[in-house]
Structure 1
Amino acid sequence: MAFALRSRVHVKSQTVKSQAPACKARRPLVCRAVLNLEPPKHTPEPAKRDVSVKATGADGEALPLPDQPEQSQRVSLTPSLLDAIVENTVKVPYNAYNSALQAHPLTTKACTSMVGFILGDLIAQHFGHPHASVDIMRAARLGAYGLLIDGPIGSKWYDVLETYVFPKDPISTKAVLTKTALDQVVYATIMTAVYFAVIRCLEGHPELIMTTLQAKFLPTLAANYMIWPLAHLINFRFVPSEYRILYNNVVCVAWLTGLSFLTHSKINFMQLLHLPHF
């Protein structure tokens, strides 16, 4: 019995001894894995190299790079697009008009006057009788007056002013004032009477010429003096000679609107303008 116990103790001790080196061998690994609670050290990233290309001058100093435009999905009005809009809406019609003036000056000015008279009368019809139908024949009569009378005679009149009134100094103060005075005293007075006479003849009522002149000549001339003296001071002084006809017709649209309204209105403009009856 005692021998058996000693044998078992010996065997057990041998087993423990045989397992001890393995435990000793594994224990440091387990301890290090369990007890290694320190946070891992941060390893700094390597510095990035600046690979951008820098322009340098002759002295070796770096030159500033041009600003890089930001990419955007929006459609913006670039200078090229703006140039295209201006080219199509302004330059093309303007160049065509100038070409027509050079090729056929008198015809172009007469047609311009015709368009101005028609447009002015249509505007007057709209504001004077907004609910009535457009009187095509009335607009046609005024267009005929612009084409056959106002355009050709007006063109020759401006040529006379440019030729004989201070031609060596055409934009001086004395030249501008003289041209404006002659235009308003001579041309405006005569052409106002001619306008009413021609319109009544085109309407088929020449017997109404004197009646119309007595009723509307003075108020029409007074309305003329409210607009055209200032318009011609600007025209003769600041507008280049090649653009004066175009400028004159732009002002004509506003003036002809009022003129057509006066011609076909039944209002007593003497009382409206506080003018005495003669």
Structure 2
Amino acid sequence: MAARWLWLWRGYGRLVARRPWTVQITTAGALMGVGDVVSQQLVEQKGLRGHSGRRTLRMMAIGFCFVGPVLGGWYKLLDRLVLGTTKTVAVKKMVLDQVGFAPIFLGSFLAIAGAVNSLSAKENWEKIQRDYADALVTNYYIWPAVQVANFYFIPLNYRLAVVQCVAIVWNSYLSWKANQP
């Protein structure tokens, strides 16, 4: 079993080396979809008959068009802003990520999710006001430790994939949060 995962990881590494941007965006979209499926099936317990394929496709579209490109670009910018690979550098990157980037990214995600879910501007703003603080606090429970490890141990081309794998749980939460009435 471990040999299979290693083979998959190496194959992913070869793809990332050849087409980093395309692979990172595709990974983000696919894993946003997985997060939505987990949300609908395990959190909301909708069952197969109650599963909304459209909702899963909407979450995947947000992953392909927003999450993947924005996070991929952010990680590149962060590596240019804070040079080095020490533990101190990893902590600095995490602080910038969590204090400067995460609040804006999360608000943008909620706004985009509301728009994709056909909320009116007023409904979307009310939903953001209701959900944002709780989502941001939950973000701070999960992401600081993950990001320190990510920035310290993981090469740039793999960071988005690592984050998106951890984010299956986070994406499930965001999907549930974004799709609550």
Structure 1 residue 239: Cα displacement: 3.0
The alignment status of 1:161 with 2:78, answered yes or no, reads: yes
TM-aligned CA distance change 1:131 to 1:202, over 3 Å: closer
Q: Specify the alignment match of 1:105 in structure 2.
A: 20
Q: Specify the alignment match of 2:159 in structure 1.
A: 244
| Secondary structure of the corresponding residue to residue 150 of structure 1 | helix
Structure 1 residue 241: Cα displacement: 4.0
In the alignment, the residues of structure 2 paired with residue 117 and residue 131 of structure 1 have an alpha-carbon distance, to the nearest angstrom, of: 18
| 1:48-63 superposed matches below 5 A | none
> Amino acid of the residue matched to residue 127 of structure 2?
T
In the alignment, the residues of structure 1 paired with residue 153 and residue 37 of structure 2 have an alpha-carbon distance, to the nearest angstrom, of: 30
Quick check: 1:171–1:236 contact (8 Å CA) kept in 2? Answer: no
Q: Specify the alignment match of 1:187 in structure 2.
A: 101
Q: 1:223 aligns with which of 101, 114, 138?
A: 138
| Secondary structure of the corresponding residue to residue 170 of structure 1 | coil
Per-residue CA deviations over 1:86-125 (Å, capped at 9, x if unaligned) read 54x1233223211221221111100000011100111011
| Secondary structure of the corresponding residue to residue 86 of structure 2 | coil
> Amino acid of the residue matched to residue 161 of structure 2?
L
Count of equivalent residues: 178
Counting helix residues as a fraction of each chain, which structure ranks higher?
2
> Amino acid of the residue matched to residue 162 of structure 1?
D
The alignment status of 1:143 with 2:60, answered yes or no, reads: yes
Q: Specify the alignment match of 1:127 in structure 2.
A: 42
Range with greater deviation from structure 2 (105-114 or 95-104): 95-104
| Secondary structure of the corresponding residue to residue 188 of structure 1 | helix
> Amino acid of the residue matched to residue 192 of structure 1?
L
In the alignment, the residues of structure 2 paired with residue 176 and residue 121 of structure 1 have an alpha-carbon distance, to the nearest angstrom, of: 30
> Amino acid of the residue matched to residue 22 of structure 2?
T
| 1:199-238 superposed matches below 5 A | 199-207=113-121, 208-238=123-153
| Secondary structure of the corresponding residue to residue 14 of structure 2 | helix
Instruction: Give the structure with higher Rg (CA).
Output: 1
Quick check: 2:110–2:128 contact (8 Å CA) kept in 1? Answer: yes
Q: Which fold has the larger relative contact order, with Cα–Cα distance below 8 Å and residues 6 or more apart in sequence?
A: 2
Per-residue CA deviations over 1:215-265 (Å, capped at 9, x if unaligned) read 001000011001001111111123344532332121111111112122223
Quick check: 2:24–2:68 contact (8 Å CA) kept in 1? Answer: yes
Quick check: 1:176–1:236 contact (8 Å CA) kept in 2? Answer: yes
> Amino acid of the residue matched to residue 238 of structure 1?
F
In the alignment, the residues of structure 2 paired with residue 127 and residue 230 of structure 1 have an alpha-carbon distance, to the nearest angstrom, of: 25
Q: Which structure 1 segments of 5+ residues have no match?
A: 1-84, 267-278
Q: Which structure 2 segments of 5+ residues have no match?
A: none
Structure 1 residue 131: Cα displacement: 4.1
Q: TM-score by structure 2 length? A: 0.90
In the alignment, the residues of structure 1 paired with residue 54 and residue 42 of structure 2 have an alpha-carbon distance, to the nearest angstrom, of: 18
| 1:56-95 superposed matches below 5 A | 86-87=2-3, 89-95=4-10
> Amino acid of the residue matched to residue 138 of structure 2?
A
TM-aligned CA distance change 1:131 to 1:205, over 3 Å: closer
Quick check: 2:75–2:156 contact (8 Å CA) kept in 1? Answer: no
